[in-house]
A and B are shown apart, each in its own frame.
Chain A
C-alpha cells in the first residue's frame, strides 16, 4: 500500500521532470525562432518575472483573478440560494439556467469582453460575471439535492429560517458548490488572461501577447510558462481549501466506498 503510494508519487513527479529534461536537451542548440532553447526561456523568465514585472504585471493579474473569483463565488452562492428558495425568482431564472447549462462557460468570454471593455475595474467585472454562473447553477443544484428528510429534521427541531439556510442547506449543498467553484476558478483564469490579451497593456496576458507580436519568442514562452505555474499553484491552493472544508464529505465517500 505504502509502496504503491511512493511509486505513484515517483511516476507523477518524475514524468514532468523527464519532459522538461527532454525539452532542455532537444532545444539546446535550437536556432528555430519559434522554439528557442529552454535555457534562454528560463533566463528570460527570471529576468522578466523575478522580479522586474512582478509587481506591475504578475500581482496585478493575480489581484484581478482573486478579486473577480471571490466576487463570483460569493455572489454565485447568494444568487443560487435566492433562486432555489424564492419561488418567483426560480420561475424566472429556471429556463435561463437550463439554457446556460448547455453553454460551455468559456464561450461567454467574448461577450463579457466586448460588453465590458478593458479597464482594471472592467476586467474584474468581466472575470466575476463569467465565473458567476457555474457557481450559481451548482448552488441551485446542490440545494435541490438536499434530502427532504434533512429538512424535516430541521423543521421538527424548530430551527429558525436563518439556521436552516446557514446550518443545514449551506453545508449540505457545499459539495455541489465546490464543484461549481472549481469550474468558476478555471473560467476566471481564462477570462483573466483573455481580458489582458485583448487591448490591455498590463498583466501577464498582455505581456505574453506583446512578446509574441514583437517576435520575442523566448519572452512569449516565459509568459506561457508563468501562466502554467500560476494555474498549477492556484489549483493546489483550491484543492487544499476544498479538502479542509469538505473533509467530512471526502471522508464519508471514502467510507461508503469501503463498505
Chain B
C-alpha cells in the first residue's frame, strides 16, 4: 500500500466550460444507493467461494463515497453486483428503494482498464455516441451532450482520434466523458486512476470532484489508494478481506473545495488517512 505524502507538484487549474449548475443537493430521506446485507458466492457446494459476506452501506444523493480495501478483496465483484452485471447471492442493492436486478438506466460505470473498455474501432466521439444511440435523441442534443462531455474532460480537440492514439490518462478521460454524455445520476468508478501516472492521477481526481459539482452526480469510487479515497470522499467505506465485509464507514470532514496541495497538507488529512490505513493494516 503506497503511503504518498502531500505532493509538491503544481496542479493545473482547469477552467470549466460547462454551464455551472446551482450547487443544490437533492435532499432525500431514502439513500440514493442502498446496499443491505449484500453477499456474493460463486459456485456451490464444496467448491463454492464466498467473495462478499454481508456488506451494508449507503450512499446519499450528491455524495462521493470511496470504497477502499486490500487488493483481491472483491471490490470489483461488488461493483458488478451494483451495476446489475452479477446477481447478488443474498441481501440486496437498491437505487431509491428499487432493487437492482439488471443494469440500472440511471447508472454509468467507468472501468478500471480503459484499454479494454473503449471500442478501438470507434473514434472518441463515436465511442461517446454508442451508448446514446438507443435513446434516439435529436441530433442537436446528441452533439451538445458529446461536446459538453468532451470539454468537461478537456478533450474537445481529440474527438476524431481513435482511443489507441491517445495516452493512458487521455483514454481514461474518454471513458469518463462517455459516462458523462450518458448523463447518469449515479457514477460508479472501478479503480479508475490505477494505471495512469501520478500527475494525471491528480488531474483525474480533481476532474472527478468537478463532475460532482457541475453535474450534481452521486459518485462511488473503488480504489486501493487510501490517500486518494480520503482526498475524494465525503465518506470512506473500509472493507476487510476474505470474504469482504465492512470494517467501518469513516466520515471525512475535510473542507470543500478540496485542493491537491492544501487539502493533502492539512493535519486532518493525515489523521484520517492514518485512521483508514490502521483499519486496513490491522490483522483481521
Binding site for B on A (CB under 8 A): 147, 149-150, 152-153, 155-160, 163, 167-168, 171-172, 174, 248-249, 251-252, 255-256
Q: Quick one: given A156-B107, A159-B131, are A252 and B164 in contact (CB under 8 Å)?
A: yes
Binding site for A on B (CB under 8 A): 80, 83-85, 103, 105, 107-109, 111, 113, 116-117, 119-122, 130-131, 133-134, 162, 164-165, 182
18 of the cross-chain contacts (CB-CB < 8 Å) are: A147-B116, A152-B80, A152-B85, A156-B83, A156-B85, A156-B107, A156-B109, A157-B182, A163-B133, A167-B130, A172-B121, A248-B162, A249-B121, A251-B165, A252-B120, A252-B162, A255-B164, A256-B164
Instruction: Give CA–CA (A130, B121) in the complex, Å.
Output: 30
Instruction: Give CA–CA (A159, B119) in the complex, Å.
Output: 14
Q: Which residues of A contact B122 (CB under 8 A)?
A: 171, 248
A259 nearest in chain B by CB position: B164
B86 nearest in chain A by CB position: A152
- Indicate if the CB atoms of B85 and A171 lie closer than 8 Å: no
Q: Which residues of B contact A159 (CB under 8 A)?
A: 130-131, 133-134
- Indicate if the CB atoms of A163 and B117 lie closer than 8 Å: no
B113 nearest in chain A by CB position: A149
Q: Quick one: given A155-B85, A157-B182, are A255 and B130 in contact (CB under 8 Å)?
A: no
Give 13 A-B pairs besides A153-B117, A158-B131, A251-B165 with Cβ atoms closer than 8 angstroms.
A147-B116, A149-B113, A153-B109, A153-B111, A156-B85, A156-B109, A157-B182, A159-B133, A167-B130, A172-B119, A248-B121, A248-B162, A249-B121
Instruction: Give CA–CA (A255, B120) in the complex, Å.
Output: 12
- Indicate if the CB atoms of A160 and B134 lie closer than 8 Å: yes
B163 nearest in chain A by CB position: A252
Instruction: Give CA–CA (A245, B182) in the complex, Å.
Output: 28
Instruction: Give CA–CA (A158, B102) in the complex, Å.
Output: 9
Q: Quick one: given A157-B182, A255-B164, are A249 and B85 in contact (CB under 8 Å)?
A: no
CB distance from A167 to the nearest CB of B (A): 6
- Indicate if the CB atoms of B162 and A155 lie closer than 8 Å: no
A255 nearest in chain B by CB position: B164
Instruction: Give CA–CA (A41, B97) in the complex, Å.
Output: 84
Closest 3 CB pairs of A and B: A157-B131, A252-B164, A149-B116
CB distance from B219 to the nearest CB of A (A): 15
- Indicate if the CB atoms of A251 and B116 lie closer than 8 Å: no
Instruction: Give CA–CA (A159, B103) in the complex, Å.
Output: 10
Across the interface, A251 reaches (CB within 8 A) one of B85, B108, B134, B164, namely B164
Instruction: Give CA–CA (A248, B160) in the complex, Å.
Output: 12
Instruction: Give CA–CA (A157, B134) in the complex, Å.
Output: 10
Instruction: Give CA–CA (A249, B163) in the complex, Å.
Output: 11
Instruction: Give CA–CA (A67, B210) in the complex, Å.
Output: 57
Q: Which residues of B contact A163 (CB under 8 A)?
A: 130, 133-134
A153 nearest in chain B by CB position: B117
CB distance from B276 to the nearest CB of A (A): 28
- Indicate if the CB atoms of B121 and A155 lie closer than 8 Å: no
- Indicate if the CB atoms of A174 and B162 lie closer than 8 Å: no
Instruction: Give CA–CA (A156, B107) in the complex, Å.
Output: 8
CB distance from B72 to the nearest CB of A (A): 18
CB distance from A175 to the nearest CB of B (A): 10
